Amino acid sequence: MRPTRLEKPPANRNDWKTIHFLLPYLWEYKGRVIAALALLVMAKLANVGVPLILKEIIDGLDRPRALLALPLLLLAGYGALRLCSTLFGELRDAVFAKVTQRAIRRVAIKVFGHLHALSLRFHLQRQTGGVSRDIERGTRGISFLLNFMLFNILPTLLEIGLVAAILISRYSIWFSVVVFGTLAAYIALTLIVTEWRMIFRRTMNDMDSKANTQAIDSLLNYETVKYFGNEAWETRRYDEHMRNWEVAAVRNQTSLALLNSGQSAIIAVGITLLLSLAADGVIQGTMSLGDLVLINAFMLQLYMPLHFLGFVYREIKHSLADMEKMFSLLAENEEIKDDPDAFDLVVADAGIRFERVNFNYEPSRQILFNISFDIPPGRNVAVVGHSGSGKSTLARLLFRFYDTTSGRILINSQDIKNVTQKSLRAAIGIVPQDSVLFNDSIYYNIVYGRPEATQDEVIAAAKAAHIHDFIESLPDKYDTTVGERGLKLSGGEKQRVAIARAILKNPKILVFDEATSALDSKSEKAIQTELKRIAANRTTLTIAHRLSTIVEADEILVMDKGHIVERGIHRQLLAANGAYAHMWELQQRQEQIGLRLTDDIGQKSDDTMDPVKISAV
């Protein structure tokens, strides 16, 4: 294992850009924002008025007994101001609540939508656990930032200004010198130490995301972990990230204790000096006892929020750090975008043309070389070849998960780069080789192909995919939950659900990417017949490994290392005695060997159970 160390934290984002990004969400409810700010100002005015009335009450009571009178009006005013300072604050929070929660919702939706708009390239590289944790922390940071920046920093600064103005206008200049000297020292210490501490917070976030990513990845691959007995290995990998997180968390906490101690020391010195000046003024007769109480109350009101201001500033910086990665997701470039003048695809009787298509995932590794072929409307073209020959890449390009490096893909003479992605994908249905399902009911996974479909249409699609009887045999029938990635179902059952989903979508273009690879021979033959029926009058691209499934295709393309090396119908390709014929001969030989093994196993089983042979032994 690598030694514990603090990894380099992510680069600091411009905090003002983050705040500027949030302003439109605040201004959406500008009436509520203005009302909340007005209530904030009234709450602070009431709060500052409390010590002023308290001074008058003290001075009114600090008289000879003969002159004493109960200041009922002042006492009532004191109580009213106390109530208003709290009441206005609560009303402010209530008025602003919708602004905060709507901003969180809007930003979360924006990030979620943007993630779906990003290319397949991004999603093949992303770490799901880390992304989900980044979004969770980022949205939580928005709530803290909006509430504390508007309702703690702003009112605290307002209160400091009001108190300072009263002290300057009423008392010696030394009071102002002490106040502003203390403020300057406090703010300087807070800013310097907080900036230094941010490296620990960013490292904590980075390690937390990595640990969460590794944990989710390990749990999603639970069976693989068990197959190889690597539970302890996975725990050690998880602990490596958590150990780095622990180091950063300890340093974060100890540096916080150091900061709090320094802030408390500055506040204690400031209050002591102010009370010493006030006490001396009372002794000298230049200040009353009420003035001493007033200054003491002001200092408590001033330094308590100032102490809280330090906490708020730290937490706002933490929130900005928490939001960094979420905003970096929004900064991810959408590789595949609709052209500004993009139009909806006109499907009609869809004909597909690949025209001199070249493609590479990375500049150093080209996948397709000058690929050209046509799929006439209503015809079925099959593509075969060894793994890595570029077969599945054709389907990805047709769906426009990637754009071609050069060349064009046309549907009814319309370049797919010029049409909207939504209309393009609405016209295409796919049954992929790896059928991943949502962790929801079987019904949900089928109806996902066309969410507005009726229950009868869903059942008809299930029957067409030869899975209806199986579903009806389950205790919960169509309400049966399939588990994470559909792992409660067998490979064949998942594939039939995917076939039902594609049938329900009822597209003009069909793509079968090893659509029956997980099925046994009997099920495959039954479903092949059904697939042939639903593919009738539809333009179909069939990507196959098992050649027996595509012998009736209108044209077969044989690919090798990104090139089309042969093309023709099944009979012609066999007669050519080339790559296709060799693949066909090899697969026939493998199937015969498999059948012989099956017969031998069956024969041995019969011999074992034959009572005559047993008695002969």
DSSP state of 169: H
Q: What is the pLDDT of residue 12?
A: 47
Q: What is the mean pLDDT of the chain?
A: 77
pLDDT at 299 over 80: no
pLDDT at 356 over 90: yes
Burial class (CB in 10 A: 0-12, 13-18, 19+), 452: exposed
The helix/strand/coil state of 365 is strand
Least confident of 103-112, 150-159, 594-603: 594-603
With tokens 């209108």, the residue in question is 554
pLDDT at 179 over 50: yes
Q: How confident is the model at residue 373 (pLDDT cuts 50, 70, 90)?
A: very high
Burial class (CB in 10 A: 0-12, 13-18, 19+), 360: middle
Q: What is the pLDDT of residue 276?
A: 85
Q: How far apart are CA 271 and CA 322, in angstroms?
A: 35
Q: What is the pLDDT of residue 358?
A: 92
pLDDT tens profile 235-252: 888 888 788 888 888 887
pLDDT at 320 over 80: no
- Do the Cβ atoms of 403 and 336 come closer than 8 Å? yes
The helix/strand/coil state of 319 is helix
Least confident of 148-162, 264-278, 375-389, 438-452: 148-162
Q: What is the pLDDT of residue 587?
A: 80
Out of 252-266, 322-336, 446-460, 510-524, the most confident range is 446-460
Q: How confident is the model at residue 188 (pLDDT cuts 50, 70, 90)?
A: confident
Per the model's pLDDT, the better-predicted residue between 460 and 332 turns out to be 460
DSSP state of 481: B
* HEC assignment per residue over 494-523: HHHHHHHHHHHHCCCEEEEECCCCCCCHHH
pLDDT at 263 over 70: yes
pLDDT tens profile 568-608: 999 998 988 888 899 888 888 876 665 555 555 555 544 44
pTM of the predicted protein model? 0.60
Q: What is the pLDDT of residue 62?
A: 62
pLDDT at 174 over 80: yes
Distances (CA, A) of 544 to 54, 201, 392, 434, 588: 88, 51, 9, 13, 15
Q: What is the pLDDT of residue 5?
A: 40
Q: What is the pLDDT of residue 354?
A: 92
* Closest alpha carbon to 238 in 271, 213, 201, 261: 213
Q: What is the pLDDT of residue 67?
A: 46
pLDDT at 310 over 70: no
Q: How confident is the model at residue 428 (pLDDT cuts 50, 70, 90)?
A: confident
Least confident of 6-20, 280-294, 302-316, 454-468: 6-20
CB count within 10 Å of CB 326 equals 23
Per the model's pLDDT, the better-predicted residue between 160 and 474 turns out to be 474
Per the model's pLDDT, the better-predicted residue between 527 and 40 turns out to be 40
> What's the rounded mean pLDDT across residues 497-501?
86
Per the model's pLDDT, the better-predicted residue between 357 and 210 turns out to be 357
> What's the rounded mean pLDDT across residues 162-172?
78
Distances (CA, A) of 192 to 41, 45, 107, 327, 330: 30, 31, 31, 25, 30
Q: What is the pLDDT of residue 516?
A: 63
Beta strands in 258-399 (DSSP E): 352-362, 365-375, 380-385
With tokens 């200054």, the residue in question is 295
pLDDT tens profile 41-93: 888 888 778 787 877 777 766 655 444 455 677 778 878 888 888 888 788 77
pLDDT at 509 over 50: yes
Per the model's pLDDT, the better-predicted residue between 445 and 256 turns out to be 445
Domains annotated for the chain, with CATH where assigned, are 15-330 (1.20.1560.10), 352-574 (3.40.50.300)
β-pairing, 428-431 vs 509-513, is: parallel
* Closest alpha carbon to 28 in 94, 96, 88, 90: 96
pLDDT tens profile 391-415: 888 988 998 888 888 899 999 889 9
CB count within 10 Å of CB 609 equals 9
Q: How far apart are CA 608 and CA 386, in angstroms?
A: 41
The helix/strand/coil state of 188 is helix
Q: How confident is the model at residue 515 (pLDDT cuts 50, 70, 90)?
A: low
pLDDT at 364 over 60: yes
Return the percent helix, strand and coil in the chain, to nearest 5. 65, 10, 20
Q: What is the pLDDT of residue 617?
A: 31
